[in-house]
Structures are given as structure tokens and as C-alpha cells.
Amino acid sequence: MKLGMVAMSGVRAHNEELTRLGLTLPGFVERNKTIASLPSLGLLTLAGMTPDNIDVEYVEVEDIADVDELPGDFDVVAISSFSAQIKEAYALADRFRANGVIVILGGLHVTAMPGEALQHADIIVTGEGEPAWSRVMRDLLRGDYQSIYDTTGTPFNLGSSPMPRFELLDVDRYNRLTVQTQRGCPFSCEFCASSIRISPIYKVKPVDRVIAEIQRIKEIWPKPFIEFADDNTFVNKKHGKKLLRALIPEKVRWFTESDISIARDDELLGLMRDSGCAQVLIGLESPTAIGLHGVEQKSDWKAKQVDSYLAAIDRIQSHGITVNGCFVLGLDGTGVDSFERVRDFVSESGLYEVQITIQTAFPGTPLYARLRREGRLLDETAWELCTLFDVNFRPSHMSKEELEQNFVWLARELYSEHASRARKKAFFSNLHEVRQQEQVQRGDAI
Ligand code: B12
């Protein structure tokens, strides 16, 4: 049996002005180049638990309009995709099926919309892929399979994680590779469409397994840059420190996502620096409590942190770790003044890097359910708008057009060559000052 792992790849935006801007603004171009080339870790992971008697090939499809001939000579294909490209994934699946190829679909969108996905697949897997994969493969080999394998009630133990088959990749195509150290998040943000939707409980992968994955990557790429495909790496500070200590001898540069609480732990920050952390991405979401109220649904945690943002960014960056602060525009309660507030906060904070996105109602999220109830979704199944750069709902305190136009304005302000350069310069001069102060305190200057 020949199995094709087909990853939908590349980045997307429908907003034409923004797409045009993306081609010209240096900050935007740089960020897009960095993230656009990442492989599907989900498929590589499942490839790692596929029996040896099945031939596996990994293929990436960026734009189905470019696919004249279907890739490979497969008996079965497993297609991965997120909401933004799900319609393209369905079109591809339909073509494979018309050619007699068995199609398996799974992942975040399929878990949120199983009925829809089933119309384009022979088999769907909802929830995490690992608990179902061996059964799916066994049933396929026997020629007797089910149409739905639902793992939502059987959480996967990351201690049994298979080794992703990184060797299936043509590594020259990538500027970084991903490793996952955890799934889920202890917080519950209304808009979050990430791993919490398939793994409601926060869980970590044992340190030795993470290190084994990095060592495997180093066999095919001696000095890799690692992006942790995590949502919130350092929730458990004790585990985080253990991971960081084990990372130090690996001598890799890495990037991850975390919440702001890391700023309160100097030992953790020191270990992050010593183990090669190049950047940590933090969802600040809004510089004002207005936008943050109600975002985190368990204890309004995000709104409670906003007063500490400036000091926290300063603390993290003073350890030589750059912070990529993420802001969501169009949050309920925020109006047209929110764009200037973000711009001003970014320059006041000294953030090295910034990411702005538009609030997006992804299927399966509490936000989607609420906006649907309130009749505020512009089109309930316009999944192609789930790009984080397009508007798929009616904002509460501005019009859709105001949100779009001001977003483009903010992108111009933040990603101009001048602004990007000023942020980098400010980071290094602050760091220089911190180092000098430390020297004086230690008495080195005398
Ligand atoms: C790496 C990454 C990318 C990469 C690689 C994408 C790829 N081909 O896999 C790139 C840079 C290309 C990318 C692009 C985009 N991304 Co992205 N990305 C991520 C990131 C950081 C990590 C994903 C990951 O590797 N997870 C680890 C793996 C192991 O988990 P997994 O993929 O969910 O797979 C598991 C299950 O879902 C399941 N499974 C998955 N696929 C399949 C397939 C089959 C057949 C089966 C059986 C099971 C199965 O089994 C796996 C093991 O349990 C996440 C954020 C995060 N921290 O998770 C965002 C994230 C997935 N991206 C997101 C978005 C919005 C985008 C873009 C739309 C951005 C844009 N404007 O272009 C595009 C979409 C392009 C597309 N291909 O559809 C959203 C998706 C939300 C959603 N529900 O759709 C996320 C969650 C971030 C967010 N802010 O919310 N992304």
C-alpha cells in the first residue's frame, strides 16, 4: 500500500490591500518568509507510527490551482489542513477520490466540522490523530474500515509520542523545523482555535522525547533552527526548567510561544537565554483592559495582566530574549482608537517584534458559537476568511470597513522599514544599557 501524506502549506490572506502590502513592507515580507515554510508536523508524526509495510511519501501543496496532475501514485492519501484552506483540501480530496484513491481527512477543522468533512473523505479522524492511526492503518490493510474514528474521548499520552519522520522532508526547503513539547493550555481564550480544541487538558511531552526529536533533526540538519509548535510552553515552570537544562548542550537556536507569566521567573529567563532562545511569542492581545475583558473565560486572566505588560516585556528582553508581542484587532468593546493605541504601546514597550491579526471566529471556538448566536457572523461557512487577516464577523464598536482599513493603516505603521529598524535598534541599545548596569553592580567597571 502506498500512502501519501499531503500537507496544505503556505500562508493566506483575502484582503487584497493587505496581500499587496505584504509584498512591499519589509517587516511583513520578512515574517511571511520565515513562517511560510514550515512542514506539517501532524502528518510527519502520524508517518512515524505508520507500519513499515506501508510506503509513505510526504508532499506539500501550496495552491491547488497549480496542481495539474495529482501528486504521487497513491492508494491512500492523508490530507491535513486548517480552516483557511479547507475548501482547497476538499477540492483536492474530491479529485483523489474521483481517481479511486482512498482519502483520510483529520485535524483541527475536521474535528470542528465532521459532518462537512465526511462529504469529501472516505475516512475522517476527529481529535488527536495518534490514538486512531494504528487502527486506521490496520483496517485499511484489511480492506474493512470505518468512516469515522473519533478520539475526542481518549486523550493521547505524549509519553508515547512517535518519532516524527523528519527524514521524509527535503530539508533544503525549510528555514526552520518544528518540534512539539506540549498540547493544550490552562487558559481558555474565547477565540483560541489551536491545540486546546483537540486537547482540552494541558499536557507536556517528556523532556527526553523532545531532545530525541531534536537529535533526530540534527542528523539531517546539523545546525537547525527549531520552532516549538506549542501554544504555551512554560506553564509548568519546573518542567520548563528541566527542558531548558536539557536543551543547553544541544546548542540550537529556538523560538516558542508562551504566556506573560515567564517574566516573573528570572531563573527560567536565564535558562531560556542560555539554551538558545531567539524569540518568544506572547499573546498580549490588547494594550487596554477594554479589549481584554472576557477574552480568557475561566478567570479573566488576560485582563488581569495588562497593567504588568510594560514591566514584563522589559524584564524578558533585558535577558537578551526578543519578544514578539501579538495583538488582536477587532476585539469586542474596542473601537477605531484601538489601532493608535496598539501603535503607541508597541513603541513605548520597546517590543523587538510585533504581530497583528484580526479577531477571527474559527469553527469550534466559543467565539464562533457566541457570534453565531448574536447573528454577527458575516457568512457562517466562509472558511476561506479564517486567515487571521480577514474579517468574518460584525465588530461591536466599528464597522467591518473601519476594521479592515485601520488594520492596513496599522500594518503600514508597524512594518515600515523605519519602524522595524527602530524597534531592533531600541532592543539592542536597551540591552547594552542593562549589561552596563550589571557590570557596574558587579564592580567590573572599577
Ligand atoms: C506550524 C504552523 C503552520 C505552518 C505549517 C502548517 C501545516 N502544513 O501543518 C504554516 C506556516 C504553513 C501555517 C500556515 C497557516 N496557519 Co498555522 N500554525 C502552525 C502552528 C504554529 C503549529 C501547528 C503544528 O504543527 N501543530 C502540531 C501538530 C502535531 O498538531 P496538528 O497539526 O494539530 O496535528 C494533530 C491533529 O490535528 C491531527 N491531524 C492533523 N492533520 C491530520 C490529518 C489526518 C489525515 C489525520 C488523521 C489527523 C490529523 O493529528 C495530529 C497529531 O495529533 C499552529 C499553532 C499551534 N501552536 O498549534 C498554527 C495554526 C495551526 N495556524 C493557523 C492558521 C490560521 C494558519 C494560516 C491560515 C495563516 C495564514 N493566514 O496563512 C495558514 C493556513 C495554511 C494552511 N495550510 O491551511 C491556526 C489554525 C486555526 C484553525 N483551526 O484553522 C493555528 C492554530 C494558529 C492560530 N493562531 O490559531 N501554520
Q: How many Å lie between the centroid of ligand 1 and the Cα of residue 81?
A: 7
What's the pLDDT at 63?
Answer: 79
In this predicted structure, what is the pLDDT of residue 24?
65
Please indicate whether residue 17 or residue 189 has the higher confidence score (pLDDT).
189
Say how far residue 380 (Cα) sits from the centre of its chain.
23
pLDDT tens for each residue of 190-210:
999 999 999 999 999 999 999
Per-residue pLDDT reduced to its tens digit, 95-114:
999 999 999 999 999 999 99
pLDDT of residue 367: 98
Residue 36 has pLDDT above 80, yes or no: no
Query: Which atom of ligand 1 is found nearest the CA of 231?
Result: 57
What is the band of 438 on the pLDDT scale with cuts at 50, 70, 90?
confident
| Reported confidence tier of residue 413, pLDDT bands at 50, 70, 90 | very high
Q: What is the pLDDT of residue 442?
A: 80
Pocket test for ligand 1, best of 44, 64, 82 (most atoms within 8 A of CB): 82
Q: Is the CB of 313 under 6 A from ligand 1?
A: no
For residue 105, the SS3 value is strand
Quickly state the pLDDT bin for 342 (edges 50, 70, 90). Answer: very high
**Residue 359 confidence (pLDDT):** 98
pLDDT at position 223, please? 92
Rounded distance between C-alpha atoms, residue 58 and residue 169, angstroms: 7
Mean pLDDT of 371-382: 98
Q: Please provide residue 355's backbone torsions phi and psi, each rounded to the nearest 5 degrees.
A: -130, 130
pLDDT at 275 over 80: yes
pLDDT band for position 35 (50/70/90)?
Answer: low
Min mean pLDDT across 31-40, 86-95, 146-155, 192-201 is at 31-40
Given pLDDT bands bounded at 50, 70 and 90, which one contains residue 25?
Answer: low
Say if residues 182 and 205 touch (Cβ distance below 8 Å): yes
Residues 6 or more apart whose CB falls under 8 angstroms from that of 243 comprise: 181, 207, 210, 233
Please determine, for residue 128, whether its predicted confidence score (pLDDT) is greater than 90.
yes
DSSP string, 246-284: HHGGG--EEEEEE-GGGGG-HHHHHHHHHTTEEEEEEEE
Q: Can you give the pLDDT at residue 227?
A: 96
Average pLDDT over all residues of the chain: 94
Which of 125, 194, 384 should be mutated for ligand 1, with most atoms under 8 A from CB? 194
CA 109 – CA 185 distance, rounded (Å): 19
Distance CA 80, CA 108 (A): 9
Q: Percentage of the chain surpassing pLDDT 70?
A: 96
Establish whether residue 131 lines the binding site of ligand 1, counting it when its CB lies within 6 angstroms of any ligand atom: no
